[in-house]
Chains A and B, each alone.
Chain A
Amino acid sequence: MSKIILFTALGLGAALCVQAGDIHGKVTCKGVRDSADAVVYVAAVPGKTFAPPAAHAKMDQKNLVFIPHVMPVLVGTTVDYLNSDAVLHNVFSPDACCDKFNLGTWPQGQSKSFTFKKECAATLLCKVHPEMEAFVVACPTPYYAVTKADGNYTIPNVPDGSYTVKVWHPKLKATQKTVAVAGATQAAFEIAK
């Protein structure tokens, strides 16, 4: 009897592992210095909707740089923009998909927030320092990742199934393909201008 219980438990455990797989691999970015900053995300999970997280995401402005440079979030997420510099900063976006918002200007230690209500790849700029830029990619599912400089990424906890996986990059043409997820699944992409 105990052996039956043990085998049943192992079988269930193995099944659960397969159902909570991941998508991992490499995005090769042609024509740019490295393969960082590509956002890889599952475009939709049929029959499922995802509630935005209660916790706010955070983007810092420090040493005249947005940190992080590229940040994927789930649609509906509120992002807090903190000014860590001794100079004034501003955050605005020229993109219609986030209603071309402008949060004004605020001093060190304070933050302002914006909620991304629609799917969007929003460019964030600072009117005070035109060279500053960042990107918030509001994704329709919580299954997303940002590539490292070597192009590697891992999207954890993706349920098994067949999905359209999209890749977005600040400078390169977006791409997509269908990926059949079954446990740990590899998917490679190549993008260029």
Chain B
Amino acid sequence: MHPTAHPRSGALLRGLILLAIFLGLAAPAGAFPIFARKYQTSCVTCHTIYPKLNAMGEAFRLNGYRLPKETEDLIKQKPVSLGSEAYKKVWPDAVWPNELPGNAPVAVNVKMANVYTSSTDASGAKTTVHNDFQFPQEVNLFAAGTLGEHMSFMAELTHAENADGSSGTEIEHARLGFESLLGPDHAFNIRIGKFAPNLYAGFQEMWLMTDNGVDSLFNYNPVGFKGGIGLLDDAAGVVSLPARVRGIEAYGVLNHRFFYTFGAMSKIAPGANAPVSGAEALNSTGSPNGNFNNTTHKDVYVRFDYKFGGMGLDGDTDGVKLPPENWRENSFRVGVLALKGNATGVDFLAADANGPVIDPIDGTNPYHQQDTSYTRTGLFASWTFSDLNVFGVYLNGKDTLELRSADNLTLVSTNDRTYKAYFVQADYVIAPPFHVSARFERLTPGDTTVQPLKVSNLNFSYLAAANVKFMLEYNKAEQAGVGTNKSINTVIRAAF
């Protein structure tokens, strides 16, 4: 058997690009009008422009959806008692008392988008779509709240409709939180479930005002297909960092300004869950979650941050002078993060320089490829000066790839890959209803023969009301030798 490479077809390219754009990307989502109802307060109490959190919103989130120094008079929707507080005195002769939210803790986000896309492949062939009405593009059903003094919950069911009319529904989040379990308030908390880990605090989901997420960190394969990256490669479910994890995480805020988190998660490493054969793999749908896997190995991660100036991470304001405009503060937050994993037993696409390796006779891939050791280390920084917030991440990745024969899993070769990625984003509040953002991303792949991926993203947002916003966003992703994607999204989002 002599493996050969399948040429990429134009149709496949277009299809995968569209899938990558409309299904696989980790678009920021998440604004919980549940809490606007609970506290009878505006969205802008916690969001600069939803879903981007301000310092108060970040403290609220880290406190397990509780206001700093919260007292019951701040809660306008009286919770339902599941037992008098005094039942604590008789435990275990009775069940420990708890509370339910006063109303059904449910909220909906709806996103409509009019999309222009232009894709150019390596040969110069161009595909353009004007005014694609994606009405809706995405609907999110949220549930979130507290269960008494020390528990919280959050769930998100997302239904996304794609350009070609196909759709997908996914439980993006489903987690339980246990807050202030040991020591001082906010010092030690646990989360369990499927969630966006605090490893990404500050640069994912609730911290982004843009329509597009930071794809160079969460959506592209830095090591696999072609030994590098590609605009297509997210189609194989391979990611640099998993946008969401299934895991258990500890985190806390100490002395108001020091933040830590560490966790363990089911492997979400590069690779598919089962041995793949090339053509089938390319037709598979990518996911910003990577691939969950039920093997024994777990990925582990850790992060440490410190915030200088501004509101404390737990909402503390003692000794701090803050302006009444709650998006403003002068602060600097810096953090270091690391993730380590072992994806032995998780096969993913083996390829040569021309693409996936396919046996011409039976159409299968004669190899298994596994990422037996990978690390991600990074630096996060966020500087807020009055109306300006500049933040970014530098990430370094190292992977050890083992190529084995499909027949008897004999080791054929071992290759170490290193890559680096970074982004920097500047958000500016022109006036409370008007916001602009600019972001640049760059991913330099493990295979130096593959050109870097560069992504530019520009956004103008108009907050028509605290819960309704319009966005005009331009995104350009280019990689020499692979192609260029451009998109202009006109978006309206409403949260209720």
A4 vs chain B, min Cβ distance (A): 59
CB pair B86–A31 under 8 Å, yes or no, is no
Do A130 and B72 touch (CB < 8 A)? no
Q: Is the CB of B89 within 8 A of A131?
A: no
**B contact residues around A131 at 8 Å (CB):** 80-84
B123 interface contact, C-beta 8 A: no
Contact with A130, one of B71, B89, B94 (Cβ below 8 angstroms):
B94
B311 to chain A, nearest CB (A): 21
Binding site for B on A (CB under 8 A): 30-33, 94-95, 123, 125, 127, 130-133, 171, 193
The chain B residue sitting closest to A170, CB to CB, is B85
10 smallest CB-CB distances across A and B, nearest first, come from A31-B71, A133-B84, A130-B83, A94-B89, A123-B86, A131-B81, A94-B90, A33-B73, A125-B84, A32-B72
- Please report the total number of B residues contacting A with Cβ < 8 Å: 17
| Alpha-carbon distance A32/B74, docked complex (angstroms) | 8
- Asked if A123 contacts B73 (CB within 8 A), the reply is no
CB <8 Å contact, A125 and B72: no
> A-facing mask of B63-97, CB < 8 A → 1, else 0?
00000000111000010111111110110001101
A and B contact pairs by CB, cutoff 8 A, 10 listed: A32-B73, A33-B78, A127-B94, A130-B83, A130-B84, A130-B87, A130-B94, A131-B84, A133-B85, A171-B72
Distance in angstroms between the alpha carbons of A30 and B71 in the assembled complex: 9
Which residues of the partner chain A approach B72 to less than 8 Å between Cβ atoms? 31-33, 171
**Does B71 contact A193, Cβ atoms closer than 8 Å?**
yes
Contact across chains for A123 and B89 when beta carbons are under 8 A apart: yes
Known pairs A31-B71, A31-B73; A130 contacts B78 (CB<8 A): no
If over half of A's interface residues share one DSSP class (helix, strand or loop), that class is named, otherwise mixed; here it is: loop
Which residue of chain A lies nearest to B80 when distances are taken between CB atoms in the complex? A131
Chain B residue at minimal CB-CB distance from A93: B86
In the bound complex, residues from chain A placing their C-beta under 8 Å from that of B83 are 130-131
Using CB atoms, name the residue of chain A closest to B70.
A31
**Complex alpha-carbon distance, A127 and B87, angstroms:** 10
Whether B94 and A132, one on each chain, are in contact in the complex, defined by CB atoms closer than 8 angstroms, is: no
B-chain residues with CB within 8 Å of residue A30 when the two chains form the complex: 71
Cα-based distance from A171 to B81 in the complex (angstroms): 15
How distant is the Cα of A131 from the Cα of B99 in the complex, in angstroms? 10
Inter-chain CA distance A94–B89, complex, in Å, is 6
Residues of B95-109 at the interface with A, using a CB-CB cut-off of 8 Å, are: 95, 97
Expressed in whole angstroms, the minimum distance between the Cβ of A37 and any Cβ of chain B is 13
When distances are taken between beta carbons in the complex, the residues of chain B under 8 Å from A125 are 84, 86-87, 90
Q: Which residue of A lies closest to B98 (CB)?
A: A130
Chain A residues closer than 8 Å to B73, beta-carbon distance: 31-33
State in angstroms the CA–CA spacing of A132 and B84 once bound together: 6
**Can you name the residue of chain A whose Cβ is closest to the Cβ of B89?**
A94
Specify which of A32, A33, A193 lies most central, judged by the most chain B CB atoms within 10 Å of its CB: A33
Chain B residues with CB under 8 Å of A123's CB are 84, 86, 89
Look across to chain B and name the residue whose beta carbon is closest to the beta carbon of A131: B81
Q: A132 vs B89: C-alpha distance in the bound complex, in angstroms?
A: 15
Q: How far is the CA of A123 from the CA of B78 in the complex (A)?
A: 21
